[in-house]
A and B are shown apart, each in its own frame.
Chain A
Amino acid sequence: MEIAPALFLTGLIVGYFVLAGCDIGLGMAAPYLARTPAERRRLVSAIAPYFLGSEVWLVGAVGVVAGLFPSLKDVLFEGGMWAVSTVLLTGWLMRDAGLWLRARVDTGAWRSVCDSALVSGSWLLALSWGLIIGGLLSGGDPLTPFSLVCALTVAVLFLLRGAAFGAERLVPADGSASGHTGPATAPEADQAAWATRVLARTGLATTAVTAALVAFPGTGPAVDRPLLLAAVAAVPATALAITSGLSGPHLSRHTSAVAIAAVPLLAGALNLPLGTPPAGTLLLTGGAILPVLPLMVVGQVALHRMLRRPADDHGFFVTPPPQDSQPGRTVPVS
């Protein structure tokens, strides 16, 4: 029973990395994958519905840390980690604001501001997650060479996840369904599929550098369980090795998920101050959360099933309001 809350928290964080990795990674790759307005529209519509269902995993995790593991917070907000957490929050806000606001005003300048917020916010998020993991492993200092290389590796893993996701989602929706008269092929999806192999190789290289730093005296992390660290780190390395020989969405979809899921698990090599939540707290939170657990599962499964098909190019996050509407005047609808 003691382990259940910790497992629950781990599940939330791993779920966040696996699911949000898709939309954060695709946001990072936007300048490369989407250059024309139509391509950008499709890319945003691939990301936008998805992020709603994935960021709640992080909101949930933050809540669980606040309620069940209050001493864990100090680790994340002490010393230099405070600055990284602030940057992470800034990136989160920028990205969300860009996505929510992009389709609300119909001018090119507005859209490019929102697109920049989306891209830079996604990069800030990925890099600060890397710095947090690296900083934790370096004993709370996010600015060691080891943490910096960690940040780079984690960013590559996010990109890989995003590219694998893009290879599936950037295929245009069935022309008849959306009324889209564009080309039937999807160069962006092909590009994303091709990028998975390049990214996997880059990731393998940065992982090797990270490993070298661990071996090099003085630069490596001071962890409590080095063997566990090595074992967990071997997982993304293997996944990357498999992906670097292949291209296309079929396998990279799974290997990128495995690789990115291992990132938060690296923290298992540390003796984090988890503490044991007292019985009253467990009773209250357990009693309130367990009954809604089925609803959480049903909602997430339904949302992700609905979003599995290729992205439409219209909808809440994509279609701007009509240009010709005047305040107060109503256009008749057929």
Chain B
Amino acid sequence: MFEDPLLSARFQFALTAAVHYMFVAFTLGLAPYILFGQFRATLRRDGPRMRAVRFWGGLYIINYAMGILSGIVMELQLSLNWSGLHEMYGYAFGAPLAIEAMGAFFVESTFLGLWIFGWDRMGKWAHWCCFLVVTTTAYASAYWVLVSNGFLKHPTGISIEDGEAVIDDVGAMAANPSALLAFTHVTFSALLLGGAVIAAASAYHLRRGCDPDGMYQRGVRHGTALLLIAVLPTVISGGLQFIMYGQDPPSSGTTYSAEQIAAIEEGYGELSTAHALGISGDMVMMLSWALMLLVGMLSAGVWAFRGLGRWRWHLRLLAFVPVLPYAASVGGWVFRETERQPWTVRHHLTTADAVTDMSPLMATVSFSLFTSAFAVLGTVTAWLLVRFARLGPNAGPLAPPRVFDQDDEDGRTPVLRL
């Protein structure tokens, strides 16, 4: 595989992006729930509810760490492996990414830091506002990434000058239908995923008879509600994306003529492996959605009969639901990205021209290094998430500070303090 840098670069990007997105999707799905929970806890000065916020917030941060690590690798990988993209489309494709880095991540990480360390050091509403900023910027970053990604699928708002793309219509760039449709679908599917995870973690604890201050009863209800709310908009916004199919981007013809484009697409053919992968991704996504709809309707029925959070078979079922939206999210992305082939920028730049001219050694080093780092970090993070979700509210990383009797790390007696 490493003899073909193109193949290894494509495969590597797909792997990193999929891993990155799994963590990002949970971030996007969980943030509004924490925001809402903290708002209610603050409004009512409700200590027990605040403890639930600390529990979900702990999971959020563990997950966020991996979002950062994988995001950094993605950003560097785009530079390292896809230099063709930057040479000709840097000013157009890179601009939204620059905004994402500056306007969103910079602010997001800074305010998340304030939120983590500000628990007992700032006013309650100021503290809530920190998370408001975190949530807003998380969605802003998703939007700007998708503007950049939408540009690849449907380049609008640009013209080609001296073989270089320049933005000549800022509004068209920012309101690219491919980006807006994807943003809507990503938002609802992330909420679906968040709801499924919240319900599953809550169900796990309820099944063990653990429900401090009723936080998991609330969790299972809120999670199920979120799932029910998001399941239909997900299919509607997903179905709407099909209107982009078969549409030529407005800038089509400015780099290659219509005949050249047809020839390139002809040469690529229909029956490539990538295409087959994409079709399977599509099927996984739709099948998962159908199963989630089933679970949602079933849960609504259970809820109507007052069995939600009590019937053990249902709690057991809920604990496995998150597999579905995770599979659907990866499948959906594989579908979207392979569907663009053979183009990296549709009708402008082929994937073969976009890849950096790497020696097999470089390709091998970069691939094995980052893939193994990702395997280790992703596994550790997933394990930690499950572990802390199971440990419950008193053991989370944001649990109220415990005081140590001894200076020694080993053999000390933690004293719980609120």
Chain A residues packing against B (C-beta within 8 Å): 37-38, 41, 49, 52-53, 55-57, 59-60, 62-64, 66-68, 70-71, 73-74, 76-77, 82, 85-86, 89-90, 92-93, 96-97, 100-101, 103-104, 108, 111, 178-182, 277-281, 283-285, 287-289, 292, 295-296, 299-300, 302-303, 306-307, 313-316, 319, 321-322, 325, 327-331, 333-334
Contact = CB atoms under 8 A, between A and B. Distances in A.
A74 B83 contact: yes
Contact of B401 (A89, A300, A307, A319): A319
A199 B86 CA distance: 41
Interface stretch (B176-184, B342-350, B388-396): B388-396
Interface in B150-178: 157-158, 166-170, 173-174
Given A67-B98, A284-B173, A322-B402, A300 B380 contact: no
Contacts of A93: 69, 72-73, 373, 377
A279 to B, nearest CB: 8
A281 B102 contact: no
A329 B401 contact: no
Given A96-B69, A284-B167, A103 B99 contact: no
A192 B35 CA distance: 41
Contact of A325 (B173, B394, B397): B394
Contacts of B128: none
Contacts of B402: 314, 319, 322
B61 A316 contact: yes
A93 B72 CA distance: 8
A70 B114 contact: no
A132 B87 CA distance: 22
B37 interface: no
A67 B112 contact: no
Nearest to B75: A62
A284 B397 CA distance: 39
Interface stretch (B16-24, B202-210, B272-280): B202-210
A302 B65 CA distance: 21
Interface of B: 51, 61-62, 65, 68-69, 72-73, 75-76, 78-80, 83, 86-87, 90-92, 94-103, 105-107, 109-114, 116-118, 121-122, 133, 144, 157-158, 166-170, 173-174, 204-205, 208, 210, 212, 356, 362, 365-366, 369, 373, 377, 380, 384, 387-388, 390-410, 414, 416-418
B391 A325 contact: yes
- 5 A-B pairs with least C-beta separation: A63-B101, A67-B98, A70-B90, A280-B167, A37-B409
The CB with the most chain A CB atoms within 10 A, among B109, B174, B380, is that of: B109
18 contacts: A37-B408, A59-B109, A66-B97, A67-B94, A73-B79, A85-B76, A86-B366, A96-B72, A108-B410, A179-B404, A283-B170, A285-B99, A288-B99, A296-B107, A303-B117, A306-B114, A306-B121, A319-B401
The CB with the most chain B CB atoms within 10 A, among A59, A74, A90, A314, is that of: A59
Contacts of B384: 101, 104
A97 B384 CA distance: 13
A78 to B, nearest CB: 9
The CB with the most chain A CB atoms within 10 A, among B101, B365, B404, is that of: B101
Given A278-B91, A292-B103, A319-B401, A287 B133 contact: no
A120 to B, nearest CB: 14
A26 to B, nearest CB: 17
A295 B130 CA distance: 11
A64 B170 contact: no
Contacts of A299: 107, 110-111, 114, 133
B117 A66 contact: no
Given A38-B409, A49-B117, A104-B384, A82 B80 contact: yes
Given A49-B116, A93-B69, A56 B76 contact: no
B99 A284 contact: yes
Nearest to B92: A281
A330 B210 contact: yes
Given A66-B78, A285-B99, 19 more contacts: A52-B110, A56-B110, A59-B105, A66-B75, A67-B95, A67-B97, A70-B87, A82-B80, A82-B362, A85-B80, A179-B417, A182-B407, A285-B95, A299-B110, A302-B114, A306-B121, A314-B404, A322-B395, A331-B416
Contacts of A68: 91, 94-95, 98
B144 to A, nearest CB: 8
Contacts of B65: 96, 100-101
Given A49-B117, A325-B391, A62 B76 contact: yes
B396 to A, nearest CB: 8
Given A93-B69, A97-B377, A314-B402, A288 B395 contact: no
Contacts of B91: 67-68, 70, 277-278, 280-281
A321 B98 CA distance: 38
A328 B94 contact: no
Contacts of B392: 325, 328-330
Contact of A60 (B106, B388, B390, B405): B106
B409 A60 contact: no
Contacts of A334: 416-418
A311 B122 CA distance: 17
B69 A281 contact: no
Contacts of A179: 403-404, 417
A40 to B, nearest CB: 8
B377 A322 contact: no
The CB with the most chain A CB atoms within 10 A, among B78, B110, B112, B122, is that of: B110
B79 A59 contact: no
Nearest to B47: A333
Contacts of B410: 37, 108
Given A82-B362, A280-B168, A52 B113 contact: yes
A314 B407 CA distance: 12
B98 A64 contact: yes
Contacts of B406: 181
B323 to A, nearest CB: 20
A57 B91 CA distance: 21
Contacts of A57: 106
A92 B409 contact: no
Contacts of B395: 321-322, 325, 331
A68 B369 CA distance: 29
A278 B117 CA distance: 41
A233 B95 CA distance: 33
A63 B366 contact: no
A104 B174 CA distance: 40
A77 B80 contact: yes
B78 to A, nearest CB: 7
B167 A63 contact: no
Contacts of A74: 83
